[in-house]
Amino acid sequence: MSDVSPLFEPYTFRSGVQVRNRLVLAPMTTWSADPDDSVSLAELDYVARRTTGVGLGLTAVGYVTAGGKGFEGQFGAEHDGRLESLRSLAHAIKSGGAKAVLQLFHAGHQAPPELVNQDVTSASDVPPATRPGQPNDVQVRALTSEEVEAIVLDFGQATRRAIEAGFDGVEIHGANGYLIQQFVSGHSNRRTDDWGGSLERRLRFPLAILDEVKRVAAIHAQGPFLVGYRFSPEEPHEQGLTMHDTFGLIDALKGRELDYVHVSLMDYAGNPRRGGDQTRSRLEQIAQRLGTQTPLIGVGNVWTPEDAVRVLNLGAAFVALGRALLLDPEWVQKVEAGRSSELQSTLSRDDREALTLPQPLWRRLTEWMVKDRLTDAAD
């Protein structure tokens, strides 16, 4: 087996937050919030078990405003009445020694109409992409400039709640086709005001959010507090994001003194579709463009300790574990103890209780098992 010691080196972020190793619980959707959108006991048990070995625990994503809810069973971070719920989540992650990071988002045009009072909004009135053969009949409304500015402030207020709830940081979710990415993408952003047009203007929204989040953290955090940003490097559709756009985003992020950047990938070793060097992995090129001042979290199809070490070798400073921790909550402890041969990488129909999996997540997993395509449940 390869040398896994690099996975267990401690790290101190720019803000001063210290973590015990380079392993991260990826933000995985569980669809398991209580009916009032508070964090459920089942989710607390699930996340507590999976953060007893990692250095950093990223929550599933919480929405920052009522119009930004993205799916059934999602917990909210949109008003102060959520503080008790958020405190319980932060405590569950930190109880095993991990640092706790609250991931925040707005779903934009991916919000199901029935969850947002039939008012689906985005950068422009462009509907979400659908699978081949499915109708694209979601009615989308372009946000007004005043609404855009209000959402920027909503991210700041959700950050204040994260601080008051005891989190060690927040991650701004600018990936996976949600609202922030919809502003960055030339496909979904057709605006002609200051929030659209050139790449520089399309980047105004995520950068405004980051500036507001950092402003709020500077005022309210009593000690070191992490601010990270997650992004997807490419989109498959015409006028969608290319690696060229991503390099522009990275260059802009480098000037914001973030604690880390987190790339969303299905496969850490995958090469670009459009733009960049198509003979080298996206992860390697992103790490090179980012440089050494801001650490990168890599993710995607990481199953074995060898996979995790390869992610570091490609230039990432951290490795996020999604499906690996889903199927083996003690993955980190086993690898550190030299027991990699005991890692569990399959799922049987009798494993729900043994793996502390919430029932809604279990239903999704068993559906995927029937289709023989267990995939990342990452946000």
Answer whether residue 137 shows pLDDT above 90: no
Which one of 46, 63, 178, 260 is the catalytic residue?
Answer: 178
Q: Is residue 213 part of a domain?
A: yes
Question: Who has greater pLDDT, 67 or 378?
Answer: 67
Q: Is residue 376 part of a domain?
A: no
Q: Is residue 377 part of a domain?
A: no
Q: Is residue 324 part of a domain?
A: yes
Residue 371: pLDDT band (50, 70, 90) is low
Answer whether residue 202 shows pLDDT above 70: yes
Q: Which two tokens stand for residue 154?
A: 């909503």
The DSSP secondary structure of 291-308, one letter per residue, reads: -SSS-EEE-SS--SHHHH
Three-state secondary-structure class, residue 287: helix
Rounded to an integer, what distance in angstroms lies between the CA atom of residue 205 and that of residue 262? 18
Q: Which two tokens stand for residue 124?
A: 């422009």
Answer whether residue 367 shows pLDDT above 90: no
Give Cα separations from 139 to 110, 143, 379 (angstroms): 11, 13, 23
Average pLDDT over residues 49-74: 97
- 228 contacts 262 by C-beta, under 8 angstroms: yes
Rounded to an integer, what distance in angstroms lies between the CA atom of residue 65 and that of residue 123? 16
Q: Which two tokens stand for residue 235?
A: 């989109």
Answer whether residue 377 shows pLDDT above 80: no
Angle between helical axes of 145-165 and 204-220 (0-180°, round to 10): 30
pLDDT in tens, 91-116: 999 999 999 999 999 999 999 999 99
Calculated CA dihedral for residues 241, 217, 28, 261, nearest 10 degrees: 40
- Residue 238: closest CA among 122, 106, 126, 105: 126
- 11 part of the active site: no
Q: Is residue 379 part of a domain?
A: no
Q: Is residue 378 part of a domain?
A: no
Three-state secondary-structure class, residue 289: helix
Average pLDDT over residues 314-326: 97
Please provide the average confidence, as pLDDT, over all residues in the chain.
94
- 233 contacts 272 by C-beta, under 8 angstroms: yes
| Confidence (pLDDT) at 349 | 81
Q: Considering only 49-63, 131-145, 224-238, which range has the smallest mean pLDDT?
A: 131-145
| Confidence (pLDDT) at 1 | 59
- 235 contacts 241 by C-beta, under 8 angstroms: yes
CB atoms within 10 A of CB 167: 26
pLDDT in tens, 146-194: 999 999 999 999 999 999 999 999 999 999 999 999 999 999 999 999 9
Query: To the nearest whole percent, how much of the chain has pLDDT over 70?
Result: 95
| Confidence (pLDDT) at 375 | 43
- Residue 129: closest CA among 281, 263, 241, 33: 241
Residue recorded with tokens 């670009």? 272
Q: Is residue 218 part of a domain?
A: yes
What CATH number has the domain bearing residue 265? 3.20.20.70
Residue 379: pLDDT band (50, 70, 90) is very low
- Residues near 95 by Cβ (< 8 Å), separated by ≥ 6? 48, 51
pLDDT in tens, 1-43: 579 999 999 999 999 999 999 999 999 999 999 999 999 999 9
The DSSP secondary structure of 303-357, one letter per residue, reads: -SHHHHHHHHHTT-SEEEESHHHHH-TTHHHHHHTT-GGG------TT-TTTTT-
| Confidence (pLDDT) at 131 | 55
Looking at the whole model, is its pTM more than 0.75? Answer: yes
> Whole domain around residue 339: which residue ranges?
5-370
Q: Is residue 261 part of a domain?
A: yes
- How many domains would you assign to the chain? 1
φ and ψ of 370, to 5 deg = -60, -40
